[in-house]
Amino acid sequence: MKRYKFWFIAGSQHLYGGDVLRTVESRGAEMAGFFDAELPCGVVFKGTMKTPDDISNCVREANHDQSCAGIIAWMHTFSPSKMWINGLVNLQKPYCHLHTQYNRSIPDSDIDMDFMNLNQSAHGDREHGFINTRLRLARKIVVGYWKDGTVLNGLSSWMRSAVGAAVSRGLKVVRFGDNMRQVAVTEGDKVEAQAKLGWQVNTQPVGRLAEEIAAVTDGEAEALLNAHREKYVFALKDDQYDAALYQTKEEIAIGRILDEQGAEAFTNTFEDLYGMEQLPGLAAQRLMERGIGFGAEGDWKTAAMTRIVKAMTSGMPGGTSFIEDYTYDLEQGRELSLGAHMLEVCPSIAAEKPRIEVHNLSIGDRRPPARLVFEGCPGKAVLASLIDMGGRFRLIIADIEVVKPIYKMPNLPVARVMWRAEPDFVTASQAWIMAGGAHHSVLSYDATPEMLTDWADIMGVETVRISAKTDIETFKRDLFLADIAYKLC
Ligand code: MN
């Protein structure tokens, strides 16, 4: 995360004279140094903005600097906001307005008008807030004393959203095969996705992938597979090792094509496995564990979102996976969802050491594929589903509590995650279905609803939240109002 740099700027003006400006400058540098040490990404002080040219030049440089992932602005003194207009109208990077002040307390006996003129963020940040609002500038507002945990957490979370935006704008998704026949929710406007989100979604021939798999030697695949002896339980009969070896060849081959294309996410489909012996299972799971985005059945939107959420949450302790709502346990009052997929769930969310197993697959018309089988870790998590509404994308974010599965399910040959939805099963399911949420989604223990919402705000994507506070009447009205608002835009 440290290679992403955030620019910290302090707003002021020449009115106050040299002494005040020197103090603003040195405090800005001190605060940037503190943030750089405390936050997951780099923070660089870019100086005190005193004139319209200072601001326009700073924005121009930020737009063109690939390492700059966003700007954090704070008005130490009053900084008249018409000075900021010509710069901000051209801003292409994520923007955070930090509302803080250098001193925590008012110095009771020492406060005088000099102190007031130097320390007037309460005043200057309101002027700055107005111009951002007047310009309809998408931005995050973080409030509090700059050394407090709440401010550091707010900045840290927003930085991760901004990193998600940077990754989104450079993301390439490789599709092996098309969308699953007749499925609607995994479809979408790839031109709109590229214009809005930056995603380059393009096909690579399945036949080429088959050739690439065939070109991987047994020796290469054995070396990689055997390197996992500590990490996974090899629950394989003698005649099943070859199935795991073939999956490892698929992992290597897909990885090579992604590297060659500069891609960080991929899709495939069980309906197009031309020249392949198995549907990628262990292969897709291993690639996800390495940080690659994946979507099954041609679902490029979930593949891209999986990659973006993994990038945003890099270095965090939980995990993130592609997941699918499968079946329910409808005991009234404690209803649970069982999420899984036919193979492809990321082992980063496993509660225990995953087992490599080989089982028959009734779908896909190929040999029994090797896959990792495990239970998801208990804990709070979110589900995120991006859908194409026609004319706009909508990101649906739902709070869930993953529980230890209440059944052993010994004959279920796939990774499984069991969860309780917020606020309750009926409301959450009504809301998800009413909003058009897909059966595919991204499950993350690390990403928070705030982080995902801030990412969507940066990208200009509608968000819909399902949480403990969700009330279905309000929810329904909000969806109706959002439809009108987006028609007006
Ligand atoms: Mn599916």
What residues are paired with 172 via a beta bridge? 200
Single-letter code of the amino acid located at 418: M
For residue 258, report the distance from its CA to the centre of ligand 1, in Å.
22
For residue 305, report the distance from its CA to the centre of ligand 1, in Å.
15
pLDDT digits (tens, 9 = 90+) for 210-220: 999 999 999 99
Nearest CA to 299 out of 176, 453, 169 is that of 176
For residue 324, report the distance from its CA to the centre of ligand 1, in Å.
6
Q: Whole-prediction pTM value?
A: 0.97
For residue 52, report the distance from its CA to the centre of ligand 1, in Å.
52
pLDDT digits (tens, 9 = 90+) for 393-423: 999 999 999 999 999 999 999 999 999 999 9
Range 118-139 average pLDDT: 97
For residue 296, report the distance from its CA to the centre of ligand 1, in Å.
6
- When pLDDT is cut at 50, 70 and 90, the band that residue 143 belongs to is very high
Range 87-108 average pLDDT: 97
- The reported pLDDT for the residue numbered 133 is 98
Using an 8 Å Cβ cutoff, are 139 and 132 in contact?
A: yes
For residue 302, report the distance from its CA to the centre of ligand 1, in Å.
10
Expressed in angstroms, the distance from the first to the final Cα of the chain is 35
- The reported pLDDT for the residue numbered 363 is 79
Q: Quote the tokens at residue 106.
A: 């008012």
For residue 298, report the distance from its CA to the centre of ligand 1, in Å.
9
For residue 304, report the distance from its CA to the centre of ligand 1, in Å.
15
Query: Rounded to the nearest 5 degrees, what angle is found at the Cα of 475, between the Cα atoms of 470 and 481?
Result: 150
**CA–CA separation, 197 and 190 (whole Å):** 10
Provide the angle, in degrees to the nearest 10, between the axes of the packed helices 149-169 and 18-38: 80
For residue 97, report the distance from its CA to the centre of ligand 1, in Å.
40
Q: Quote the tokens at residue 25.
A: 């400058």
- The reported pLDDT for the residue numbered 362 is 81
Nearest CA to 384 out of 393, 376, 375, 392 is that of 393
Q: Domain spanning 5-169 has what CATH number?
A: 3.40.50.10940
For residue 106, report the distance from its CA to the centre of ligand 1, in Å.
58
For residue 289, report the distance from its CA to the centre of ligand 1, in Å.
18
pLDDT digits (tens, 9 = 90+) for 56-65: 999 999 999 9
Say if strands 320-329 and 440-444 run parallel, antiparallel, or are unpaired: antiparallel
Q: What is the mean pLDDT of the chain?
A: 97
- When pLDDT is cut at 50, 70 and 90, the band that residue 178 belongs to is very high
Nearest CA to 174 out of 21, 294, 74, 337 is that of 294
Say if strands 393-403 and 462-466 run parallel, antiparallel, or are unpaired: parallel
Nearest CA to 292 out of 243, 252, 232, 340 is that of 252
Provide the angle, in degrees to the nearest 10, between the axes of the packed helices 241-261 and 282-289: 50
Contacts with 423 (C-beta within 8 Å, 6 or more apart), sequence order = 467, 468, 469, 470
pLDDT digits (tens, 9 = 90+) for 146-172: 999 999 999 999 999 999 999 999 999
For residue 180, report the distance from its CA to the centre of ligand 1, in Å.
9
415 conformational bin, left if phi > 0, alpha if psi -120 to 50, beta if neither: beta
For residue 321, report the distance from its CA to the centre of ligand 1, in Å.
13
**CA–CA separation, 483 and 435 (whole Å):** 11
For residue 422, report the distance from its CA to the centre of ligand 1, in Å.
23
In this structure, the number of other CB atoms found within 10 A of the CB of residue 28 comes to 23
- The reported pLDDT for the residue numbered 378 is 98
CA dihedral 149, 153, 156, 162 (to 10 degrees): -150
For residue 173, report the distance from its CA to the centre of ligand 1, in Å.
18
Range 345-356 average pLDDT: 98
Q: What is the DSSP string of 66-107?
A: TTEEEEEEEESS---THHHHHHHTT--S-EEEEE--S-SS--
pLDDT digits (tens, 9 = 90+) for 353-388: 999 999 999 877 799 999 999 999 999 999 999 999
3-state SS, residue 238? helix
**CA–CA separation, 14 and 248 (whole Å):** 64
Cis peptide bond prior to 423, omega within 30° of 0? yes
- Where exactly does CATH 3.40.50.10940 map onto the chain? 5-169
In this structure, the number of other CB atoms found within 10 A of the CB of residue 204 comes to 19
Range 267-273 average pLDDT: 96
Residue 488 has pLDDT above 90, yes or no: no
What residues are paired with 266 via a beta bridge? 174, 294
Residue tagged 């991760």 (tokens) = 160
For residue 440, report the distance from its CA to the centre of ligand 1, in Å.
6
Q: What percentage of the chain carries pLDDT values higher than 70?
A: 100
HSE-CB at 199 with a 13 A cutoff on CA atoms is 29
For residue 343, report the distance from its CA to the centre of ligand 1, in Å.
9
- The reported pLDDT for the residue numbered 4 is 97
Residue tagged 């690939």 (tokens) = 66
Using an 8 Å Cβ cutoff, are 20 and 102 in contact?
A: no
- The reported pLDDT for the residue numbered 287 is 98
Q: Quick one: which H or E segment has residue 25?
A: helix 18-38
